[in-house]
């Protein structure tokens, strides 16, 4: 949905969104668990070689007055693939003919067409595979640089990107571009990186933890026998962590430990009840195990993030990475943790394109050798599918886990230096 509440389907119905795909720029973030892809698709304005290209005059009105430029109008699209199924990514790229479309739109040379920006460890690990299967060279871009560039772009250029989430309430945050820095960026991927960001290209990785999204998925898989991440996340919706976690009330006979500010429902020890109960793993419901695990990891990350914010006097913490998946329970746990430990001083904020920061940053690095500027105009949300329920009335996993950020493309103009 765009800012005016218009879905892409409605736009299409009004004939306002006749985007015949003409993919030009593309970037990848090949991580330990997932491959994230961002690509720009120019609108087809009709003339054969000028798809989506506005006239120089028009373009220069939109940009910085440089007359030696043209502007492409189109959308940034987002896709993800599991790294273990990299062939699906290669097939997708091949089907979209990314390797052929290349950078046709603005007359790049044939050799440039076969180079794509890529970040993440997989840009090194799979370089030969991309060369062999698609004839493409991966132009490697630094991972931390990309994360920060992606976050800065979204926070400055895209409206309705950042939001807070607490007690089931989502609230969008208007970011003042002149008052963005410094902030703490917490990227929760397979592992977790915490980066203090002071400006464009000005940052320091101040902390991190190996207990992250990979831990949740890996341990969860072993403990619940889930076959997919979505299944595990889906289970956590209906679980109850009090079955396995040892609460303050379990120790204090149902009472709060008010002297030090701990309520009876606070978790004293994650999974602690399993010690005193004479039960095997099979006797616990996978839902409860998934819930305790999600809570343990989210709590821990929220707390380390808060401590780092405190360490550097940062009031705003933005959380990104695909672990979050716009999952209400994860965000709630992180927000409550940050709010509790900071006495309401620091704020946890989330990003709609949470998982695509690195890929977006790699995309922005085209700036150095192709386009001069990228301006975001609208977020365009694909028509959401209606959540379905199973016979017991519970939301089906696939419904509750719609890929929020993958479904939101960004309308933008790209200024190309000729
Ligand atoms: P990385 O770059 O390390 O792959 P991501 O930001 O892509 O980091 O996040 C990876 C994490 O996202 C996984 O460890 C897992 O917790 C979570 N995740 C979300 N969706 C999926 C999925 N479909 N398959 C696997 N992991 C997923």
**217 close to ligand 1 (CB < 6 Angstrom):** yes
- CB-side neighbour CA atoms (13 Å) of 56: 7
CA 189 to centroid of ligand 1, rounded, Å: 6
| Structure token digits, residue 356 | 């695509």
Query: Helix, strand, or coil here: 93?
Result: helix
Domain boundaries of the chain, sorted by first residue: 8-142+356-417, 162-244+284-351
- Greater confidence (344 vs 297) lies with 297
Q: What is the number of the ligand 1 atom nearest to the C-alpha of 215?
A: 14
- How large is the average pLDDT for residues 186-199? 98
pLDDT of 16 above 50:
no
Q: Is the peptide bond before 182 cis (omega within 30 degrees of 0)?
A: yes
Contact by Cβ (8 Å): 23, 74: no
Q: How many CB atoms lie within 10 A of CB 220?
A: 23
User: Once rounded to an integer, what is the mean pLDDT over residues 90-111?
Assistant: 64
> Lowest-pLDDT range, 157-171, 213-227, 360-374?
360-374
Cα 215 to ligand 1 centre (Å):
10
Ligand 1 atom at minimal distance to the Cα of residue 230: 23
151 C-alpha to center of ligand 1: Å?
18
Q: What pLDDT is recorded for position 62?
A: 39
Tokens of residue 254, six digits: 């149902």
Residue 52 has pLDDT above 80, yes or no: no
Residue 121 has pLDDT above 90, yes or no: yes
* Distance from Cα 321 to the centre of ligand 1, integer Å: 7
- Fold exhibited by the domain 8-142+356-417: Nucleotidyltransferase; domain 5 (3.30.420)
33 lines ligand 1 (CB under 6 A): yes
Which atom of ligand 1 lies at the shortest distance from residue 29's CA? 2
Q: How far is the CA of 82 from the centre of ligand 1 (A)?
A: 8
Question: From ligand 1's centre to the CA of 210, what distance in Å?
Answer: 14
Q: What is the pLDDT of residue 147?
A: 98
Res 15 pLDDT > 60: no
Q: What band does 413 get if pLDDT is binned at 50, 70 and 90? A: confident
State the distance from the centre of ligand 1 to the C-alpha of 13, rounded, in angstroms. Answer: 35
Query: pLDDT-based confidence at 375, cuts 50/70/90?
Result: confident
Summarize the confidence of residues 369-376 as an average pLDDT.
70
Distance between CA atoms of residues 347 and 183, nearest Å: 11
Q: Is the CB of 323 under 6 A from ligand 1?
A: yes
CATH fold, domain 162-244+284-351, is: Nucleotidyltransferase; domain 5 (3.30.420)
323, 324, 357, 397: which to mutate for ligand 1, most atoms within 8 A of CB?
323
Ligand 1 site-directed mutation target among 78, 322, 358, most atoms within 8 Å of CB: 322
Per-residue pLDDT reduced to its tens digit, 270-285? 999 999 998 999 999 9
How does residue 327 score in pLDDT terms, banded at 50, 70 and 90?
A: very high
Q: Which of 38, 191, 209, 217 has most ligand 1 atoms within 8 Å of its beta carbon, as the pocket-test mutant?
A: 217
pLDDT given at position 371: 67
* Concatenated DSSP letters of 276-341: HS---GGGS-HHHHHHHHHHHHHHHHHHHHHHHHHHHT--EEEEESTTTTT-HHHHHHHHHHHHHH
pLDDT digits (tens, 9 = 90+) for 237-270: 999 999 999 999 998 888 888 887 788 888 999 9
> Can you tell me the distance from the alpha carbon of 319 to that of 87, in angstroms, rounded to the nearest whole number?
29
356 lines ligand 1 (CB under 6 A): no
Nearest CA to ligand 1 atom 2: 31
Position 95 confidence tier, pLDDT thresholds 50, 70, 90: confident
Same fold, 8-142+356-417 and 162-244+284-351: yes
What is the residue-averaged pLDDT of the chain? 82
User: Dihedral of the CA atoms 254, 259, 263, 266 (nearest 10)?
Assistant: -100
CA 313, chain centre distance (Å)? 25
Q: What is the pLDDT of residues 158-185, one digit of tens each?
A: 788 999 999 899 999 998 889 999 999 9
Cβ of residue 249 lying under 6 Å from some atom of ligand 1: no
* pLDDT confidence of residue 373: 74
> Has residue 362 got a pLDDT over 50?
yes
pTM comes to 0.84
Average pLDDT over residues 334-351: 90
Q: Ligand 1: which residue has its CA nearest to atom 16? A: 213
Task: Say yes or no: CB of residue 321 within 6 Å of ligand 1.
Answer: yes
Q: Which protein residue's CA is at the shortest distance from atom 8 of ligand 1?
A: 189
């Amino acid at each position: 949905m765009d800012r005016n509440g218009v879905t892409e389907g409605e736009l299409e119905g009004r004939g306002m969104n006749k985007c015949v795909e003409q993919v030009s720029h593309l970037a990848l973030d090949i991580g330990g668990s997932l491959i994230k892809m961002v690509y720009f698709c120019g609108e087809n304005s009709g003339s054969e070689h000028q798809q989506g290209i506005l006239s120089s005059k028009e373009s220069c009105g939109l940009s910085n007055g440089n007359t030696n430029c043209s502007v492409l109008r189109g959308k940034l699209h987002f896709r993800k693939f599991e790294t273990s199924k990299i062939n699906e990514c290669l097939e997708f790229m091949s089907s979209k003919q990314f390797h052929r479309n290349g950078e046709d739109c603005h007359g790049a040379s044939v050799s440039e067409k076969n180079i794509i920006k890529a970040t993440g460890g997989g840009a090194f690990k799979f370089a030969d595979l991309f060369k062999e299967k698609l004839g493409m060279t991966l132009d490697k871009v630094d991972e931390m640089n990309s994360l920060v560039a992606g976050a800065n772009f979204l926070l400055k250029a895209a409206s309705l990107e950042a939001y807070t989430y607490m007690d089931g309430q989502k609230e969008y945050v208007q970011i003042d571009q002149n008052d963005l820095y410094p902030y703490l960026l917490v990227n929760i991927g397979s592992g977790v990186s915490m980066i203090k960001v002071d400006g464009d290209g000005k940052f320091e990785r101040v902390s991190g933890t190996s207990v992250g999204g990979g831990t949740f998925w890996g341990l969860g898989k072993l403990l619940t026998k889930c076959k997919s991440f979505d299944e595990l996340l889906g289970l956590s919706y209906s679980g109850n962590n009090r079955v396995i976690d040892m609460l303050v009330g379990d120790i204090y006979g149902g009472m709060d430990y008010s002297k030090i500010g701990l309520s009876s429902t606070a978790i004293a020890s994650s999974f602690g009840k399993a010690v005193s109960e004479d039960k095997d793993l099979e006797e616990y419901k996978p839902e409860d195990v998934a819930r305790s695990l999600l809570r343990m990891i989210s709590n821990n990350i929220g707390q380390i993030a808060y401590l780092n914010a405190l360490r550097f006097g940062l009031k705003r913490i933005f959380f990104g990475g695909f672990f979050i998946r716009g999952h209400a329970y994860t965000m709630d746990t992180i927000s409550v943790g940050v709010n509790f430990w900071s006495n309401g001083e620091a704020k946890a904020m989330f990003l709609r394109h949470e998982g695509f920061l690195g890929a977006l940053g790699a995309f922005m690095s085209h700036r150095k050798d192709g386009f001069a500027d990228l301006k975001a105009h609208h977020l365009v949300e694909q028509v959401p599918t209606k959540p379905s329920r199973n016979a017991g009335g519970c939301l089906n996993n696939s419904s509750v886990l719609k890929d929020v950020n993958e479904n939101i493309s960004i309308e933008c103009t790209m200024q190309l230096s000729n």
